[in-house]
Each structure stands twice: as structure tokens, then as C-alpha cells.
Structure 1
């Protein structure tokens, strides 16, 4: 399992579309929004939670089509399906690798981008907390979408259409945590709901993804 994780991390770094591309897209969103909306700090602070979460969501979406496609093209996915490692474990490891090269860097870079968008200091810690809790759900849900479209040519658009509606609850609760934290309000309810989404996705979706992969490999 560790060898598979290290292999996926090396492939993500070597093939592109992971750490660098997602982080660059996240940065561009934070830089371009003030240019389009205007430099008023009050306006930027009000829209910062939603903008930062939308940017993180889209950045995670960029590399999802590569999650199983490269292994499917070179035949590695067939070998993984017949390996002693359960296919559910393979899916979980690939989702973890995707989070390590996309979700984790975005979480670490988020405070700097929050400053660019005039997010109050009281909201910075909740920005990091919401992304740390919520981005694993994005990777797990994305792995399910990638498994459904792995056998399709140019399935990136279909993948986006399938995954984006499933991302909506994570987006809503993640942005709400930052809004409440910046305003000094209680954040326990949206934080627990976001954690529930992440735990549910991590527990259930590897099985659904593995089933979709088995069907596509027949």
C-alpha cells in the first residue's frame, strides 16, 4: 500500500496536473478576483470565504481525470484489479495521493490567499480548518467520479458534470465555517456536518468506486 502511494505521488509530480497546477490555479483565482471586483476591503472580505472555497474546489477538479486514466491506458489498472490488494484499498490510496498533491498544498497556502482577499484574522484559522476537514471529501468524491468515467475518451467534461453537484454540500458548509468564524459566531454545527460528509465519503465511496472500476474493466 505504501509502495502504491509513493508511486502515485511520483507520477503526480512527474506527469503534472497535481501540486503545481492546482496551486497555481488557486493563486490565480485569489489574484484575479480583486482585479474584477475592485480593491474595496469590505467587499473582498465578505466574498472571500466563497471565493476561496470555489477556487479550492476547482483546483481539486483539475487533476481528477488523471486519477485512473493513466493506469487504464497502460494496463496497470488491470494488474491492480487482480493484485492481492483489494481494489477498494487501491481507490483509497489513490484518493489519498490526490489529496496530498492538491488538497494539502491548497490548505497550507490558503492563509496567504486569505490575506490577499482581506479575510479577517479571526477567519484565518477557520479557513485552514475547513479546508483541512473538507478537501479529503473532494478527493474521495472525485475518485468516485473518475472511476465512473475511466473508460470514456475525453471524459473530463462528463466527470465535471457528475462531480460538481456532489461537491455542493461540502462547498456550502466549508464557506459557512469561514463566515461564522470571521464573524465570531459558533462554527460547531457546520464543522461537524462537514466532518460527517468527509468521513462518510471516505468510508463508503471507495467501495462504490471499486464497483464502478470492476464494471468498466469487464
Structure 2
């Protein structure tokens, strides 16, 4: 499993520019916001957490369609499906999701404080947004695995993956933004939405790999 994790991290970094493309897309989303809402620094600071979360969500969708595509093309996906039972395949999907998060989404979390400065956010808001992204974005990887597994047999399934993933990612987005605002805005609380966000990541860490493994088996059949 360690070898699988390291292999997928290397593939994720190399494929299509990997982390660099995601960070550049994240930067592009943040950069166009002032042109749409105007140069009001107070307004940018208020909407900063929401924009960071939306940018991270959209950037996190990049490359999801390739989560299982390389394994399918070289035949290793069939070996993974045949190598063990459903639970073993689900654990393999879990490792691949962690590798995808490390290679493609973790750089977005690291870049978030710098982009928060661009949005004129205060240090408390930047810290809260970065913390919620670190806790909540793993759920996006586990949700994305389900969409990637459903579309793995399609030659161009990137759009389908996005359509499948976005509705399921809305609760993560809601509680991530709510917790970010709660850290800087009274009387909004921080801990209740933050703990729900952490619970969503744990929930999808269990449900996502299981659902993705069932979808992979169905596509293999």
C-alpha cells in the first residue's frame, strides 16, 4: 500500500502538470473575483472565505477523471479488482484517494494563506479558512473517487465526474464556509460547523471508497 501511495503521488504530480495546474487555476479564480465585485476591500474580505472554498472546490475537480484512468489503460486496474475481495479493493481506493489529495489538493491548502492575503482577509480569517480546507478537502477526494469510478470506462468522462461530484460536495462547502465565517464574525460559532465538517470527511472516507469499489466492479463486469 505504501508503494501504491507513492506511485499514485508521482503520477498525480506528473500528469497534466499536476499540482501546478491546480494552483494556477486556484489563483485564476481568486484573481478574477475583484474584477467581478469591484475593488471594495471590505467586501473582498467578507466574501474571502467563500471564494477560497469555491476556488479550491473547482480546482480540486481537475484530474479527478484520471484517478483510475491510468490504471485502466495499463491493465493494473483489472489486477486490483481481481486481487482481493470488495473490502480490499475499497482500501486500495482509499489509498488512491489519499494520494490524489496529497498530489493535487494539498498544494491548494498550502497556497490558500497567500491567496487569502490577495482577498484582504485578516490573519484569523486566513487561518480559519486554511484549517477548514485542510479538514474538509479530503472529503472532496473521497466523493470524487465515486464519480471517477462511475466514469472510468468512458473515454471523456471529465464533465460527468464534475456533474456527479458537485451536488455531493455542497454540504462540505456549506459547513466549510460557515466555520470560516464563524472564526471572525460574531455571533456565528466556529466549532459546531467545524466538527460537522470533520464528521463529513470521516463519513465520506468510509462511504466513498466502498461506493467507488462497487462502481469499479460493476464497470469491470
CA 1:17–1:144: 2 relative to 1, 3 Å: farther
Who is 2:11 aligned against? 11
1:197 to 179, 200, 217: 200
Who is 2:67 aligned against? 67
Who is 1:43 aligned against? 43
Contact 1:18 1:98 in 2 (8 A): no
Who is 1:158 aligned against? 160
Consecutive unaligned residues of structure 2, counting only runs of 5 or more, are none
CA 1:17–1:58: 2 relative to 1, 3 Å: farther
Counterparts of residues 149-188 of structure 1 (less than 5 Å): 149-184=151-186, 185-188=188-191
1:115 to 92, 96, 117: 117
* In structure 2, distance between residues paired with 1:4 and 1:183: 43
* In structure 2, distance between residues paired with 1:206 and 1:54: 24
Contact 1:17 1:63 in 2 (8 A): no
Q: Secondary structure at the match of 1:82?
A: helix
Counterparts of residues 199-214 of structure 1 (less than 5 Å): 199-214=202-217
Tell me how far 1:200 sits from its aligned partner.
0.3
TM-score normalised by length of structure 2 = 0.94
Alpha-carbon RMSD across the aligned residues, in angstroms, is 1.4
* In structure 1, distance between residues paired with 2:74 and 2:113: 39
CA 1:88–1:17: 2 relative to 1, 3 Å: farther
* In structure 1, distance between residues paired with 2:196 and 2:206: 15
Contact 2:105 2:137 in 1 (8 A): yes
Structure 1 moving runs of 4+ over 4 Å: none
Aligned length: 218
Who is 1:135 aligned against? 137
Tell me how far 1:125 sits from its aligned partner.
1.4
Who is 2:29 aligned against? 29
Consecutive unaligned residues of structure 1, counting only runs of 5 or more, are none
* In structure 2, distance between residues paired with 1:18 and 1:79: 25
